[in-house]
Amino acid sequence: MKLFPIRGGIHPDYRKELTSDKAIAALPMPATLYIPLQQHIGAPAEVLVKEGDMVKKGQMIARNQGTVSASQHAPTSGRIRAVAEVTAPHPSGLPQSTIILESDGKDEWAELPEPITDPFAADAHTINERVSQSGIVGMGGAAFPSAIKLNLGEQKKLDILLLNGAECEPYLTCDDRVMREYPDAIVDGARIMAHALGTPRVIIAIEQNKPQAIEIMTKAASAFPGVEVIGVPVQYPMGSERHLVQAITGRETPARKLTADLGVVVHNVSTARAVHDAVRFGRPLVARVVTVSGGAIREPKNVLTPIGASITDLVGFCGGFAVRPESVVNGGPMMGQPLPGLDAPVVKGTSGILALTAGEINDNPTSACIRCGSCITVCPCGLSPVDMSAFIRKDKLEVAAKLGVMDCFSCGSCSYVCPSHIPLVHYFNYAKGVLNDLERERQKNERIKTLAEVRTIRIEKATEAKRAALAARKPAADSAAPGNAGEPKATTEEKANA
């Protein structure tokens, strides 16, 4: 199949060999699990349990709330210790509402929903409902509730389900391992999703630096005519949804539109496997494969981890730190988030935990920009990081916005190549945050202005009504004292209070 070139991109040092050839190992069930109510984009889930409740594995303990949300399930059986504020796996180090579950060691399954025996006979709604019930979110890192994406078939005419197995981030091999070890589950999950979406074609895109995965997946897909496996060039960030779609179809997703508008829906390979589990066995998403790697980890490997296991447990399982890490990263080195500490739990979107040494990060002091233009060359979004960061530095965020800082998806290519080691992505994240703040503030101000006006009108009306009432009363009782009659009643009340 003919592929299309994508703009820019880089070829970082991948270092996938640290973990790619080791089979997935399961983490022994930790004694305590921390399940945040929000592990996804959207509204946090609503707690269904309270302190002291006994739950079984797979039991729903928090329900999705609102349209964009996902439910949470107990990763093992045990007792709810508390619903409390616990540090989130987030660079801010801020706490969030988390269900704390103490394992009883039995790992007993709850009564699960009935498997859908023939999903291809079931209607889309049934499948979506099941996916939604199972708390499945995008497992590539963005953690967008998958059921919503599976609903797109209702609104748009779709052609292709694109399964993203590019895994372009260095170090990460969890998708690679899942593809190698569970190819049939992935293909089946993909076919179920394609059925729900109504797409005739399924394309599984895998970067060419994973030849075994390509081979195994091709074999697994060979039985199904609608399913193709395509090796895509090794080029970071090939795994970005829009770029992968461009590479496969040659079509560029317009800004502020979705790939679905081009007829393509993209899901992660691990998500497909989770869908398979949910549909065929009724199992909700309670565990995921996490790559634990980096130069500071003694025994890097891929670990099947229950959601909510603390990162300390995970690192301990991998032999602990060989050297003091410079940074511990949640996700890949390019787009991952630094962790403020190791207390935070693994969540559904955690694809990797990397403990990186200073040498691996290769962070040097920032020097002045020499306008070499490398950042422009590598930017897959066609932006001008050099100019945007200069404007942000001088607090001219509106100009940076004009230049497209909101179109940046923080892939990190520009920061990676910058010879002056300017924290370009950091600038953009800052700008995006402030611009969002401003947007929020603007919305709030508009609201407040309206509120004030509404109130003024209301009070005017009330005064008017009172005056009218008074005028009506006046002829009747024309001996009433004219001055005091209009005084608001509230004053007397107040006096009573005082």
Partner 1 sequence: MKVGIAYALPQRQAWYDVEVPDGATVKDAIERSGILAQFPEIDLVQQKVGIYGKVSKLDAVLNGGDRVEIYRTITCDPKTVPRKAKAGEAASEAEG
Partner 2 sequence: MEAYVLLFVSAALVNNVILARFLGLCSFMGVTTRIDTAVGMGLATTFVITVSSMADWAVGAYLLEPYNLWYLRTVTFIMVIAAAVQFTELTVKKVSPPLFQMLGIYLPLITTNCAVLGVAILLVEHKMNFIEATLFGFASSVGYSLVMVMMAGLRERLALADVPRLFAGPPNGFIVASLLALAFMGFSGMTA
Partner 3 sequence: MMMGGIVDSSTDYSAPALTEGIAQVVAVEGDMAWLVPESGTSCGGCSSAAACGSKGIGTVASRLEQRRFQMVNDAGLKIGERVVVGVSENAVLRASLIAYAIPLATLLVSGGMAQWAAGHDFITMGAMLVGLVFGLWLSRVRAGQMMARGELAPRFIRRASMGETCNLE
Which residue, 161 or 309, is less far from partner 3 as judged by CB?
309
Task: Name the pairing type of β-strands 352-356 and 287-293.
Answer: parallel
CB of 368 to partner 2, least distance (A): 8
CB of 178 to partner 3, least distance (A): 19
Window 268 to 327, contacts with partner 1 (CB under 8 A): none
Which residue, 297 or 386, is less far from partner 2 as judged by CB?
386
Name the helix (H) or strand (E) containing 100.
strand 95-103
CB of 70 to partner 2, least distance (A): 43
Best CA proximity match to 350, nearest among 360, 342, 358: 342
Measured CA to CA, the distance from residue 63 to residue 69 in angstroms comes to 9
The binder of 406, among partner 2, partner 1, partner 3, none, by C-beta within 5 to 8 A per type, is partner 3
User: How many alpha carbons lie under 13 Å from residue 41 in its C-beta half-sphere?
Assistant: 13
Window 478 to 497, contacts with partner 1 (CB under 8 A): 494, 497
CB of 16 to partner 3, least distance (A): 22
Which residue, 39 or 259, is less far from partner 3 as judged by CB?
39
The binder of 38, among partner 2, partner 3, partner 1, none, by C-beta within 5 to 8 A per type, is partner 3
Query: Which positions lie near partner 3, rule CB under 8 A?
Result: 38-42, 88-90, 92, 96, 141-143, 255-256, 330, 337, 347, 349-350, 398, 401-407, 432-433, 435-436, 439-440, 445-447, 449-450, 453
Q: Does 469 bind partner 1 (CB under 8 A)?
A: no
**Per-residue contact flags (x/-) with partner 1 for residues 106 to 145, judged by CB under 8 A:** ----------------------------------------
Q: Does 464 bind partner 1 (CB under 8 A)?
A: no
Best CA proximity match to 385, nearest among 366, 352, 362, 408: 408
Which residue, 395 or 453, is less far from partner 2 as judged by CB?
395
The binder of 219, among partner 1, partner 2, partner 3, none, by C-beta within 5 to 8 A per type, is none
CB of 67 to partner 2, least distance (A): 42
Which residue, 230 or 335, is less far from partner 3 as judged by CB?
335
The binder of 67, among partner 3, partner 2, partner 1, none, by C-beta within 5 to 8 A per type, is none
The binder of 257, among partner 1, partner 3, partner 2, none, by C-beta within 5 to 8 A per type, is none
> What is the dihedral sign for C-alpha 343, 347, 350, 352?
positive
> What is the dihedral sign for C-alpha 66, 70, 71, 72?
negative
CB of 456 to partner 1, least distance (A): 13
Name the helix (H) or strand (E) containing 314.
helix 311-317
3-state secondary structure of 478: coil
CB of 262 to partner 1, least distance (A): 36
Contact between residue 224 and residue 207 where contact means Cβ atoms under 8 Å apart: no
CB of 484 to partner 3, least distance (A): 35
Best CA proximity match to 310, nearest among 24, 31, 75, 33: 33
Measured CA to CA, the distance from residue 468 to residue 474 in angstroms comes to 10
Instruction: Annotate 247-258 with b (16+ C-beta within 10 A) or e (fewer).
Output: bbbeebbeeeeb
The binder of 11, among partner 1, partner 3, partner 2, none, by C-beta within 5 to 8 A per type, is none
Contact between residue 189 and residue 276 where contact means Cβ atoms under 8 Å apart: yes
Which residue, 97 or 312, is less far from partner 1 as judged by CB?
97
Measured CA to CA, the distance from residue 195 to residue 425 in angstroms comes to 39
Which residue, 245 or 369, is less far from partner 2 as judged by CB?
369
CB of 414 to partner 2, least distance (A): 17
Query: Which positions lie near partner 2, rule CB under 8 A?
Result: 368, 390-391, 393-394
Amino acid, res. 412: G
The binder of 402, among partner 3, partner 1, partner 2, none, by C-beta within 5 to 8 A per type, is partner 3
Task: Name the pairing type of β-strands 201-207 and 160-165.
Answer: parallel
The binder of 458, among partner 1, partner 2, partner 3, none, by C-beta within 5 to 8 A per type, is partner 1
Which residue, 40 or 57, is less far from partner 3 as judged by CB?
40
Sheet holding 160-165, edge to edge: 227-232, 201-207, 160-165, 264-268
Measured CA to CA, the distance from residue 82 to residue 98 in angstroms comes to 8
The binder of 142, among partner 3, partner 2, partner 1, none, by C-beta within 5 to 8 A per type, is partner 3
Q: Does 465 bind partner 1 (CB under 8 A)?
A: no
Window 403 to 462, contacts with partner 1 (CB under 8 A): 454, 458
Contact between residue 241 and residue 168 where contact means Cβ atoms under 8 Å apart: no
CB of 405 to partner 2, least distance (A): 15
Long-range contact set of residues 395-400: C-beta below 8 Å, sequence gap at least 24: 397/431, 397/434, 397/435, 397/438, 400/431
Tokens of 11: 């070829």
Contacts of 191 (CB under 8 A, 6+ apart): 120, 202, 224, 226, 227
Measured CA to CA, the distance from residue 357 to residue 362 in angstroms comes to 9
Q: Which residues bind partner 1 (CB under 8 A)?
A: 454, 458, 494, 497
